[in-house]
Structure 1
Amino acid sequence: MRSWDVDDLMLWDERIREKAAQFGLDCFPQVFEICDEDQMLGYMAYHGMPAHYPHWSYGKSFEKLKTTYDYGVSGLPYEMVINSDASVAYLMRNNSLCLQVLTIAHVYGHNDFFKNNFTFRHTHPELTVANFKSRADRVRRYIEDPAIGIDKVEALLDAAHALSFNCRRNLGVRKLGEAEQRARAIDAAVPRHDPYPDIHRAPQLPEPDLRRVPLEPEEDILLFIRDHNPYLASWEQDLLTIVHEEAQYFIPQIETKIMNEGWASFWHHRIVTSLDLPTDLQMEFMVHHAQVVRPHPGGINPYYLGFKLWHDILRRCENPTPEERERYGGPCDGMALLFRIREADRDASFLRQFLTGRLMREMDMYEFAPEDDEYVVQRVADEDDWQHIRDTLIGSVGMAAFPVIRIDDADYDGARKLHLTHAYDGRELELGQAEKTLGYLHQLWGRGVVLDTVLHDEPVHLVYDRDGFRPERAA
């Protein structure tokens, strides 16, 4: 199937890069690597990274991916691209020339998004590859240390991986330091100035407990354990730091999956259709593009949903219907608006602002749920229910799929038990997963752990201590 050489790819890359610049894309320098199937499977197991620390779960992931690929159950991605400066992308060696052209254009869309979307600004892309290599070297040193060894390292990494996404989600909001939290607690205990003290009774504000740890509920669970469990060795603290830092690197990609894939698909379509491809390549491109942005029955294809949304925003801005003109104004500079949205939003806000009932009906969106042994459609995107379906979708994208759990007391019952609270939003925790996760938390903390949540509309404590796991009814 291959009908190209490296010189062909370099020529097309130059043409695509020029088009991207003409359209206003602002990209990091781009590096492409050509790889075969086994190499691509390895990059997939390592989340696209050219280097990563060893852990049994990555080997398991590789074997699972390879088995499903060898038996034709799943395919391979056309490309992979990582958020780094310079950006690194991998192209499949056996892809046709047309498919390479499409994926190169797709990569430049991702590249622009990584460089400009606000959620990626803390990731230090210029250090991405070096940081992953440094962490891999540190983990290997601990494994090779006869006083530590692979068993201890993997046991701690197992626990850390299970808790890695129990952390702050909105990194655009600065986290207060301990001194600032103390100042805020003291300030909150001081009565506000009352211009009519003779009329009003002075409020009785509670004294702040400045000895409480943490002073304010803490979402960064791994970092809290690292900083407050005095029995952890330095190598254990370092491993918790490594896992936390890597989770922080991947959170923006989780938070912008629909926007990012839709943006890359929007631009690969716009760039390639402007290249005046030969007829045979043009027909092949149309087939591959349709495969990328096709809907997935019974699920959400982020490429499809994002592609449709970006196009609909552009249409709504440049060629609004009378109803849209009355509601939103217009016409306006659609491309300028797209670039502003690309910079300032994540999936949740993107869907909340721009996923309309009109577009949902066009995409035949609906909500279904299990009932007995079948799945039953509960809502369709009509005038009554489209907003409910949209809100359900928003509640499942990005980090919203992970429960919000915060530490609020590191000395619960005066026995150094760790007390946590689940921010219950109507979705109950799955007890089997909760048991495993609290077991890992107990392992890292070294004392009992208590999690407050809601099961069957009743408040409960989920306890994990030396006697194991058990739910207890809250008083």
Structure 2
Amino acid sequence: MTEYEYTMTDLAFWNEKIEKLTDEIGLNCYEQHFEICSYEDMLCYEAYTGMPSHYHHWSFGKAYERQKTFYQYNLTGLPYEMVINSDPCIAYLMRDNTLLLQILTMAHVYGHNDFFRNNRLFKQNTRAELTIELFKAHANRVRDYIQNPGIGPEKVERILDGAHALKFQITRTKPEKPRNRAELEEDRDAAIPERFKNDLLGFLAERGRLSEWERDLIHIVRDEALYFIPQIETKIMNEGWASYWHYQILKNLELPQGLYLEFIQRHNLVIRPHQGRVNPYFVGFKVFEYLDKTGGREKIMAIRAEERDQSFLRRYLTRELCEEMHLFSYDVEDEYIVVTEVSDEEGWKTVRDQLVNSVGMSGMPVIKPMAVEKGTLVLEHDFDGRELELQYAQQTLKYIVDLWGGKVVLHTKINGKDKRLICTENKEIADLK
């Protein structure tokens, strides 16, 4: 039997051994289900965010064609696995993987499974037991709107395009709704209710000049964005945690020698540093490895439960780790990459802080609804020193006009000076100082 020849019985055998080790280690997982799929299926799952059922939109098809082209020309590889934050937890294994790669992937999945179930961001923002049914219900509602003769695909696409452009301009935790009559009246009378001060898409869904089906489409996109925010906010932790545990599990799995050698090779490929960009598997693995050695198992279990990438790196990425991983900060000047700091005694904190400020949702600009003035929606860019890309901002304003149903003004800063971008109801753009 070659490395590619294995049966479902073989996979079940190794999965049972892995499950036993996860219990002994103390990982606390949802029930785990695996599905075997072809590389074409994996491309589809990747494009449609892994969900067995998802609504149709051209952006998903575009992502599929892009990934397929990259894969065919060897410009990128496919993920070894794809795992969903659901209960039971669903993961896909690509049929063309070797036996060892399937074993490593299954162990990696149990690490993700434990992280999904125990990290506070996932516990606060998602209900894993409802995930599959939620996405299926969304798909059915969008399909019904498309097939409705009074609505149709073009109108649905117009609203989805706008909602997709703004899908992460939302609160990063589930907002509390008004709880009593006084709060309801205050919420109703306010031009910008308190719960929408950091939730532009939610505000547009409630206060935009929209029909009920249009509001529903925006809520669908918003609800799915809320589901994915914990994954965005914990990418380094989540991948580092899964990598650390697949490494510990396979070391203790009593693999045959040939499989063990492939395991070491595959593991080193997963956690190798990447040139010119941060490999979340590498950074997360190194930090958790260090914390397990210095703080012990109980400490790392608590850290995986409480932190997100920003707090995790700020608290636990030490000078020694920065030096060991050869981390540095850089800037782009005249199309050249210029190293600005290295991880030495004086520079490592700058390197750490630049990394902290680039992870999770921190890389996305924050646009807040500030006022409604004679039917015009006034927005403000929460300026943090990083300027908006003006061409992208102008196009996004046009989508906001679609959802608001009127004129929109955005306040920001360019070259240190205050700037206003105006988009009229006819989607004409004006830049005013």
Settle same-fold status: TM greater than 0.5: yes
User: Is the partner of 2:337 in helix, strand or coil?
Assistant: strand
The answer for the alignment partner of 2:263 in structure 1 is 285
The answer for the alignment partner of 2:313 in structure 1 is 351
The answer for the alignment partner of 2:178 in structure 1 is 177
Match for 1:221 among 185, 191, 200? 200
The answer for the alignment partner of 1:240 in structure 2 is 218
The answer for the alignment partner of 2:428 in structure 1 is 468
Q: 1:369 to 1:261 in 2, by over 3 A?
A: same
User: Is the partner of 2:64 in helix, strand or coil?
Assistant: helix
Structure 1 residues 393-412: aligned runs within 5 Å: 393-409=355-371, 411-412=372-373
Asked if residue 105 in structure 1 is aligned to residue 67 in structure 2, the reply is no
- Give the aligned residue type for 2:261: M
Structure 1 residues 220-369: aligned runs within 5 Å: 220-229=199-208, 231-317=209-295, 334-369=296-331
- Give the aligned residue type for 2:149: P
Asked if residue 166 in structure 1 is aligned to residue 166 in structure 2, the reply is no
The answer for the alignment partner of 2:377 in structure 1 is 418
Q: 1:438 to 1:341 in 2, by over 3 A?
A: same
Structure 1 length-normalised TM: 0.87
The answer for the alignment partner of 1:431 in structure 2 is 390
Match for 2:336 among 374, 377, 391? 374
* 1:385 Cα deviation after fit: 1.6
Asked if residue 120 in structure 1 is aligned to residue 122 in structure 2, the reply is yes
The answer for the alignment partner of 2:42 in structure 1 is 40
How many Å separate the matches in 2 of 1:227 and 1:374?
46
Contact residue 210 and residue 405 of structure 2 kept, 8 A: no
The answer for the alignment partner of 1:28 in structure 2 is 30
How many Å separate the matches in 1 of 2:392 and 2:52?
31
Identity of aligned residues (%): 47
Deviations 1:166-196 (A, max 9, x none): 011244xx5463869969x9xxxxxxxxxxx
Asked if residue 130 in structure 1 is aligned to residue 133 in structure 2, the reply is yes
How many Å separate the matches in 2 of 1:384 and 1:28?
44
How many Å separate the matches in 1 of 2:427 and 2:172?
33
* 1:353 Cα deviation after fit: 0.3
How many Å separate the matches in 1 of 2:264 and 2:430?
56
User: Is the partner of 2:380 in helix, strand or coil?
Assistant: strand
The answer for the alignment partner of 1:326 in structure 2 is none
User: Is the partner of 2:222 in helix, strand or coil?
Assistant: helix
* 1:83 Cα deviation after fit: 0.1
Aligned-residue RMSD, C-alpha: 1.8
How many Å separate the matches in 1 of 2:152 and 2:328?
52
Asked if residue 457 in structure 1 is aligned to residue 416 in structure 2, the reply is yes
Contact residue 181 and residue 215 of structure 1 kept, 8 A: no
Deviations 1:24-45 (A, max 9, x none): 0000000000000100000000
- Give the aligned residue type for 1:439: K
Unaligned regions of 5+ residues in structure 2, if any? none
Q: 1:77 to 1:210 in 2, by over 3 A?
A: closer
Structure 1 residues 143-154: aligned runs within 5 Å: 143-154=146-157
Structure 2 length-normalised TM: 0.95
The answer for the alignment partner of 1:72 in structure 2 is 74
The answer for the alignment partner of 1:327 in structure 2 is none
Q: 1:295 to 1:305 in 2, by over 3 A?
A: same
Runs of 4+ displaced beyond 2 Å: 174-183, 209-212
The answer for the alignment partner of 1:141 in structure 2 is 144
How many Å separate the matches in 2 of 1:271 and 1:387?
33
Deviations 1:268-296 (A, max 9, x none): 00001001111100000000000000000
What is the total number of aligned residue pairs between the two structures? 428
* 1:315 Cα deviation after fit: 2.1
- Give the aligned residue type for 2:91: A
How many Å separate the matches in 2 of 1:120 and 1:178?
24
Deviations 1:403-453 (A, max 9, x none): 1111121x22xx211011111110011101101111100111111111111
- Of stretches 461-470 and 128-137 in structure 1, the one that deviates more from structure 2 is 461-470
* 1:97 Cα deviation after fit: 0.7
The answer for the alignment partner of 1:443 in structure 2 is 402
Contact residue 182 and residue 215 of structure 1 kept, 8 A: no
* 1:210 Cα deviation after fit: 9.6
Deviations 1:26-77 (A, max 9, x none): 0000000000010000000001111100011111111111111111111111
How many Å separate the matches in 1 of 2:394 and 2:265?
47
Q: 1:96 to 1:467 in 2, by over 3 A?
A: closer
Contact residue 421 and residue 453 of structure 1 kept, 8 A: yes
How many Å separate the matches in 1 of 2:382 and 2:173?
16
- Give the aligned residue type for 1:424: F
Unaligned regions of 5+ residues in structure 1, if any? 186-208, 318-333
How many Å separate the matches in 2 of 1:180 and 1:301?
50
The answer for the alignment partner of 1:16 in structure 2 is 18
* 1:400 Cα deviation after fit: 0.5
Deviations 1:245-269 (A, max 9, x none): 0000000000000000000000000
- Give the aligned residue type for 1:14: E
Larger of the two Rg values belongs to structure: 1
